[in-house]
Homo-oligomer: A and B are copies of this chain.
Amino acid sequence: MANGTYVFKASSIEESTGSAYPDAYQYVTKDRYVRRLTDPAHLTNYAVNLVRLAPGGQSSCRHAHSKQDEFVYMMEGELVLNTDAGRQTVTVGDCVGFPAGTGDAHHFVNETDQDASFLVIGDRSSNDTVAYPDDDMAAKLDADGKLIITHKDGSPY
């Protein structure tokens, strides 16, 4: 559709694998498949991804954003959400809000033998930092909005 409106099937977007993590943590997201919907929708103010976790898959290392709100809508299957409060199972139709700045770190793990999928939205607030309480990583956005991941002590990977 012309004139500034962009329509497409989510299923038409190729799934991406891999992550921005250092080599030592690439294994975490090896069963994660991400359809990046933001660019085909021509949006710049926030990001929208459709994420599929195969059995055994993890969404990310457990992390917390300082400035960026994150929102998840469960689309398919069942996942375990791990936060500072412990484990919780989420299923289709569940919404999860991760407001910025609470320090409560999260990730999702697929402990079932079926795929599970969710939509995730994140804004692009500047000066965001990401804490990874369980792993030797720390991250911050550089001036171009690119995520720079270092060791916890700030030394480069």
Chain A positions within 8 Å of B, measured between CB atoms, are: 1-11, 37, 40-46, 48, 68-69, 71, 73, 81, 83-85, 88, 90, 93-100, 102-104, 106, 119, 121, 123, 125
A9 surroundings in chain B (CB, below 8 A):
93-95
Minimum CB–CB distance for A38 against chain B, Å: 8
* Cβ contact within 8 Å between A41 and B123: no
A90–B8 alpha-carbon span in the complex (Å): 9
Minimum CB–CB distance for A64 against chain B, Å: 8
Minimum CB–CB distance for A65 against chain B, Å: 10
* Cβ contact within 8 Å between A97 and B40: yes
* Cβ contact within 8 Å between A41 and B5: no
* Cβ contact within 8 Å between B44 and A3: no
Q: Which of B4, B6, B73, B96 contacts A5 (CB 8 A)?
A: B96
Residue of B at shortest CB range from A106?
B5
A90 surroundings in chain B (CB, below 8 A):
7
* Cβ contact within 8 Å between A83 and B41: no
A6–B5 alpha-carbon span in the complex (Å): 32
A1–B88 alpha-carbon span in the complex (Å): 8
* Cβ contact within 8 Å between A3 and B85: yes
* Cβ contact within 8 Å between A69 and B45: yes
A99 surroundings in chain B (CB, below 8 A):
4, 6, 41-44
A68 surroundings in chain B (CB, below 8 A):
45
Interface centre among A43, A69, A97 (most CB of B within 10 A): A97
* Other 14 A-B pairs with CB < 8 A, given A3-B85, A6-B96, A41-B71: A5-B102, A6-B97, A7-B81, A10-B95, A37-B95, A40-B95, A43-B69, A43-B71, A45-B69, A45-B123, A46-B71, A48-B73, A48-B121, A123-B123
